[in-house]
A and B are shown apart, each in its own frame.
Chain A
Amino acid sequence: MRIFVYFLIVLLAIVHQDFWWWDTEKPLIGGVVPIGLAYHALVSLAAAIFWGLAAKYCWPHDLDDDDAITAGNEGAAS
């Protein structure tokens, strides 16, 4: 599933280059929004969904352990 989710995100980045809508404003979604804009609004929506899937299936659970660390290390940087 982890690989599939990352595959979806890479795929989204590829289909972001929507040369098929480049030279057209039609169809107009709701008679208002040209397809080139509606498609990219959909890309934003898909980004939210895919990153949501990443947060569910690709979450770095090992880092959750760090939640337990107290702020006792403040100023420890060298």
Chain B
Amino acid sequence: MTQFIIICVYLALLLILGVVTSRMFKGTAADYFLASRGIGSFLLLMSLFGTTMTAFALVGSTGESFREGIGVYGMMASWSGIVHSACFFLVGIKLWSFGKRFGYTTQIEFFRDRFESDKLGIVLFPILVGLIVPYLLIGVMAAGVTIERSTGGAFPNIFAGHGVGPAAIPAGAIPFWLGSAGICLVVLIYVFFGGVRGTAWANAFQTIVFIVLGIVTFSVISDKLGGAKAATEMVLKDNPHVMRRTVREDDPLTRYHGDQKVYQKKMTAWESKPEDERGPKPDEVHKPEGISPLHFLSYMFIPLSVGMFPHIFQHWLTAKSAKSFKLSVIAHPLLIMLVWVPCVLIGAWATSAVIEGKPVIPYGFSNPNAVLVKMVSTLTSDGLGGLLTAGILAAIMSSLDSQFLCIGSMFTNDIVAHYAGRDRFTDQQKVLCGRVFVVLIVAGTYALAQLRPGSVFTLGVWCFSGFASLFPLVFAAVYWKRATRAGAYACVLTAAACWWWLFAKSGYGAGAQFLFMGMMPVATIVGASTAALILVSLATKPPSAETVERFFPRRK
């Protein structure tokens, strides 16, 4: 019940913030979609950081560290620090400038103009929307599951428990359909009334919440484990491989062997049953193998996705001035460090933490993404558990809101206004149209999430890869005069074809650790799309002098 009350208080605060920010709304389309291009340095930093850091930053970083060790920080966090800031500095400021000069609201408007092709928008639109939808689903589903798992016992007379084993839902828990509906409704309200300004303020609040709670959680957990030094010593004794990126022959691998024992027991029980009574076969235990240097290096391509995320583009355009970007460029790597280092350490400690002779994370615990929540629920109070749940929801919602609004903006501007004629609609009609699309998208995502397509979680990294594969397009668009319309089509189609080919080769996302030539598939796709862009551009007619002068003016 405590956790439920804390979640309710948190959501109520968000709604109040939504109401306050909606009073700043000026009633114009430019204000709804772009906050009248008036967002200053601090809000821009918070909204960019909150949008790029999903729930993965809290629960995923802990889970991956638990599974693979501290090397995940170098693969995911420090690369992101370097590359995200590069995207903000080298691409974001330029796009902001074009947006302000030529009145763009969406990426597709820019690409249509830069590459002198209306149809390029038709090719890009389904790809961009198609890559965002799985993300939305992941967010809504993660929110529903988080609430369901953290509110057990709140309403035992209304909601019955169900399921068995680690996946069991305790009696009284807010069911998935209701929890996810609540989150969708709260996000919908502040996006509907406040537009992008509402999301910027909500993101600022939520980002502060999850940064602070991450640090508090770290401090309390290390205290409960007898101090940070004691927690690290337990790891060095039992599972030292998670503190480096290799596995040695003489490593004790205590967790792996403990997991194996549980697995053998489960297998024996599974095999002893008649075939028609057997449930699903128990999952095999992941054997630590270390991280290869090539695998580690190829992660550098993943954060390039930030350069092509439509929702990040929209946030860039909200900036008040070019100078507003400075704080984001500098502070973004620091904020990543602040969130990731404590979570990665908690994940490593979780492999070996023992209290009163019992492992805090029991052997056979098969869901790495639940490690942080398990650590908190075992080692801390209900109050901190509730606050951490609020922090996880904050991280989820701070990405969801921008994505909902951005798809609404794309439908309104790239489809309805573009094809019906911009002058046909008044500003109020465009705002209404944007709001209607946001409602439809939220409702559609909620309905799809109720089907609970489990495989959607494995699609996350493929979505990132898809956006990263299109990065050469945006980079060439702002820096290479010679990039042509045909080159742009070649880049997009090659990225799509190559992405699909590797996606199929991975068993449609079934292999969570799928590597191609020892690297993340994104490395190959980015290479192919870049080559296609360059070769086809050089072989085709250059853009018109008018376009070159427009996007590459000779400055005084």
* Interfacial residues, chain A to chain B (CB-CB below 8 A): 9, 12-13, 16-19, 21-25, 28, 30-34, 36-37, 40-41, 43-45, 47-48, 51-52, 54-55, 60, 62-67, 69, 71, 73-78
Output the least CB separation between B23 and chain A (Å).
20
Asked if A24 and B30 sit within 8 Å, CB to CB, the answer is no
Interface residue B29 (Cβ < 8 Å from any Cβ of A): yes
> Which one of B81, B296, B341 has the greatest number of beta carbons of chain A within 10 Å?
B81
Within 8 A of A (CB), among B307-353: 320-323, 326, 329-334, 336-337, 341, 344-345, 348
Which residues from A are CB-within-8-Å of B104? Answer: 77
Which residues from A are CB-within-8-Å of B28? Answer: 74
| Segment among B95-103, B167-175, B262-270 that sits at the interface with chain A | B95-103
Cross-chain pair count, CB within 8 angstroms: 165
Asked if A36 and B102 sit within 8 Å, CB to CB, the answer is no
Output the nearest chain B residue to A37 by Cβ-Cβ distance. B70
Asked if A60 and B322 sit within 8 Å, CB to CB, the answer is yes
Output the nearest chain B residue to A28 by Cβ-Cβ distance. B232
Asked if B112 and A54 sit within 8 Å, CB to CB, the answer is no
For the complex of A and B, the 5 pairs showing the least CB-CB separation, nearest first, are A73-B103, A25-B243, A76-B103, A44-B337, A77-B109
Interface residue B482 (Cβ < 8 Å from any Cβ of A): no
Q: Considering the chains assembled together, what is the distance between the CA atoms of A54 and B82 in angstroms?
A: 12
Partner of B334, one of A19, A48, A60: A48
Contact of A71 with B30 at beta-carbon distance under 8 Å, contacts A34-B70, A48-B330, A48-B331 already known = yes
Asked if A37 and B344 sit within 8 Å, CB to CB, the answer is yes
Output the nearest chain A residue to B70 by Cβ-Cβ distance. A37
Contact of A48 with B81 at beta-carbon distance under 8 Å, contacts A16-B74, A63-B94, A76-B103 already known = yes
Interface SS of A by simple majority: helix
Interface residue B149 (Cβ < 8 Å from any Cβ of A): no
Asked if B337 and A45 sit within 8 Å, CB to CB, the answer is yes
Interface residue B86 (Cβ < 8 Å from any Cβ of A): yes
Which residues from A are CB-within-8-Å of B323? Answer: 64, 67
Asked if B74 and A40 sit within 8 Å, CB to CB, the answer is yes
Asked if B334 and A36 sit within 8 Å, CB to CB, the answer is no
Contact of A45 with B334 at beta-carbon distance under 8 Å, contacts A28-B232, A66-B322, A78-B113 already known = yes
> Which one of B82, B102, B236, B329 has the greatest number of beta carbons of chain A within 10 Å?
B82
Asked if B85 and A47 sit within 8 Å, CB to CB, the answer is yes
User: Would you list 5 pairs from A and B whose C-beta atoms are within 8 A, ordered by A residue?
Assistant: A13-B300, A31-B229, A48-B332, A55-B330, A67-B320
Q: Considering the chains assembled together, what is the distance between the CA atoms of A73 and B29 in angstroms?
A: 13
Asked if B322 and A33 sit within 8 Å, CB to CB, the answer is no
Which residues from B are CB-within-8-Å of A9? Answer: 82, 86
Q: Considering the chains assembled together, what is the distance between the CA atoms of A45 and B345 in angstroms?
A: 18
Interface residue B228 (Cβ < 8 Å from any Cβ of A): yes
Contact of A73 with B100 at beta-carbon distance under 8 Å, contacts A24-B244, A64-B323 already known = yes
Q: Considering the chains assembled together, what is the distance between the CA atoms of A77 and B93 in angstroms?
A: 18
Which residues from B are CB-within-8-Å of A31? Answer: 228-229, 232
Q: Considering the chains assembled together, what is the distance between the CA atoms of A48 and B96 in angstroms?
A: 21
Q: Considering the chains assembled together, what is the distance between the CA atoms of A20 and B214 in angstroms?
A: 30
Q: Considering the chains assembled together, what is the distance between the CA atoms of A40 and B244 in angstroms?
A: 12
Which residues from B are CB-within-8-Å of A63? Answer: 93-94, 96-97, 322
Which residues from A are CB-within-8-Å of B30? Answer: 71, 74-75
Asked if A32 and B228 sit within 8 Å, CB to CB, the answer is yes
B 26-62 binary contact with A (CB < 8 Å = 1; else 0): 0011100000110000000000000000000000000
Output the nearest chain A residue to B417 by Cβ-Cβ distance. A75
Asked if B101 and A64 sit within 8 Å, CB to CB, the answer is no
Which residues from A are CB-within-8-Å of B112? Answer: 77-78
Asked if B89 and A55 sit within 8 Å, CB to CB, the answer is yes
Contact of A13 with B70 at beta-carbon distance under 8 Å, contacts A36-B244, A66-B97, A77-B113 already known = no
Partner of A52, one of B103, B248, B330, B413: B330
Output the least CB separation between A31 and chain B (Å).
5
Partner of B102, one of A24, A44, A47, A77: A77
Output the least CB separation between B131 and chain A (Å).
22
Asked if B103 and A34 sit within 8 Å, CB to CB, the answer is no
Asked if A64 and B333 sit within 8 Å, CB to CB, the answer is no
Contact of A51 with B101 at beta-carbon distance under 8 Å, contacts A32-B229, A62-B555, A64-B321 already known = no
Output the least CB separation between A38 and chain B (Å).
9
Interface residue B24 (Cβ < 8 Å from any Cβ of A): no
Which residues from B are CB-within-8-Å of A75? Answer: 29-30, 103, 417, 422
Interface residue B79 (Cβ < 8 Å from any Cβ of A): yes
Which residues from B are CB-within-8-Å of A67? Answer: 320-323
Which residues from B are CB-within-8-Å of A45? Answer: 333-334, 337
